[in-house]
Amino acid sequence: MSPGLRSRPLELDGSVVIVGAGLGGLRSAEALRAGGFRGTITMLGAEHHLPYDRPPLTKQLLAGAWDEPRVQLASADKLATLGVALELGVAASALDAATTTVRLEDGRDLRADAVVLATGAAPRWLPGTEGMRGVHVVRTIEDSTALRDELDGLGGAGTVVVIGAGFIGSEVASTARAKGLDVTVLEALDVPLGPVVGDVVGTWVTELHRREGIEVRAGVAVGRVHPRTAATAPSVELASGELVPADVVVIGIGVRSTTEWLEGSGLTIADGVVCDESLFAADSIVAVGDLARFRWHNALGTEDVRIEHWEVTAQLAAHAAASLLAGSADAAPVSLVPYFWSDQHGRKIQMLGRPIPADEVLHVAGSVEEAKFTVVYHREGRVAGVLGVASPRHVMLCRPLVEAGAALADATALFSSP
């Protein structure tokens, strides 16, 4: 992000367009109102749903334990009380950053005093797989319910092949296995999740899947996917030529930020919308959530990051609203401790911080064998993060240490205390 922003504080009676009606868009609107903004807020949602929560899509909604209303984040009445003019089923097609004007796919132009970009991310498909019968990704309510219906249609006797052992793939695999289905997970990495949680925890998660009856094949490359036909079930062909049969195939190989509509906008696009330390992408334009690539000053240094976590999205939305209300000259830099969680096979995995693969891992509490333990990630003798399995109290005890980049000795002392 180049210097020279000159955004004045947003007038409290001004106008804001929020592009995106998910968690980031909703929390931005709430934070604007909480900050005293009295003007007009227009929120655009490409989907036809009120703002809803995505984490349950691979867990409770996919399992059938929750229905669609339960994943809703806000009712129509709540949005009306907030004074949000919500337009659903309306996608933005372009942005003119110089005039803060959003063009809609129906040809309308919406000009506002400020724009919040909150269009999130879209799932990655393997080449040629989008639209294949029997092949799924999970990102929307429709994705989740379509996969749920297909899994339930197997009647507890069938095979699911999941491509990708990241958190989405692992949660889908866990949910499918709980339905009594045979599950095979294919992962290109030798240690699934290794770059995110380290080899020690990644190996433990892999063994957890195996203990629950899931076949995990790590270090394998997928060549292509064959769709369901009238005569055959879908299958996955490995680069070696081996065919892995399936009744259902799920692709969980990550997401890409939805920036195509911003080409030619005047913004800098590089693995997301490039923002400064206060989330400004341009004068009077901020980005939040999976879309935002921002300059993050933390206890261990400064990084340009894009973080795909629910809690981070909520924090960024609140910060972006505060930045607009303050103006670029007085806006504070983002201050946060990244946090995420995942539910797999009845275990809750929680992580604070943003460790890197080179960080060392120290087991500080609990038992790996009993699936209740805590590990601390450290770099040059300083705490970079903490991960706990079924250990929420220990994780939260470490939050001040992660935020401060405290000495590793402080963490070991915390867990050695009676």
pLDDT number for residue 2: 42
* Mean pLDDT in residue range 312-320: 97
Per-residue pLDDT of 155-194, as tens digits, reads: 999 999 999 999 999 999 999 999 999 999 999 999 999 9
- CATH number for the domain that contains residue 142: 3.50.50.60
Both tokens assigned to 156: 């507890």
Does the residue 199 lie in any domain? yes
* 3-class SS of residue 135: strand
118-132 pLDDT, tens digit per residue, is 999 999 999 999 999
372 & 301 share domain? no
Percent of the chain with pLDDT over 90: 94
Query: Residue 249: which domain range?
Result: 125-253
Maximum CA pair distance of the chain? Answer: 66
**pLDDT tens digits for 323-353?**
999 999 999 999 999 999 999 999 999 999 9
Mean pLDDT of the chain: 95
**Is residue 104 situated within a structural domain?**
yes
Average pLDDT over residues 215-222: 97
Q: How many CA atoms lie within 13 A of 265 on its CB side?
A: 25
Query: 382 pLDDT exceeds 70?
Result: yes
382-389 and 347-353 as β-strands: parallel, antiparallel, unpaired? Answer: antiparallel
Per-residue pLDDT for 1 more than 50?
no
In a domain, 336, yes or no: no
- Same domain? For 27 and 79 the reply is yes
One domain for residues 272 and 242: no
| pLDDT computed for residue 417 by the predictor | 65
The reply to whether 340 falls in a domain is no
Are 281 and 305 within one domain? yes
Per-residue pLDDT, 270: 96
Half-sphere exposure of 119 (CA within 13 A, CB side): 23
341 burial type by CB count under 10 A (0-12 exposed, 13-18 middle, 19+ buried): middle
Q: Which two tokens stand for residue 207?
A: 């063994």
Residue that is written with structure tokens 């981070």 in the block: 312
Tell me how many domains the chain contains: 3
Instruction: Enter the tokens of residue 117.
Output: 């970009």
Q: How far is the C-alpha of 324 from the C-alpha of 330, rounded, in Å?
A: 10
Q: What pLDDT score does 5 carry?
A: 84
Asked if 92 contacts 19 with a C-beta cutoff of 8 angstroms, the reply is yes
Question: Token digits for 88?
Answer: 């659903």
Segment 80-98, tens digit of pLDDT: 999 999 999 999 999 999 9
Q: Are 238 and 298 contained in the same domain?
A: no
* 264 plus 162 within the same structural domain: no
> Hey, what amino acid is at 7?
S
Residue 200: per-residue pLDDT: 87
pLDDT (tens digit per residue) in 251-261:
999 999 999 99
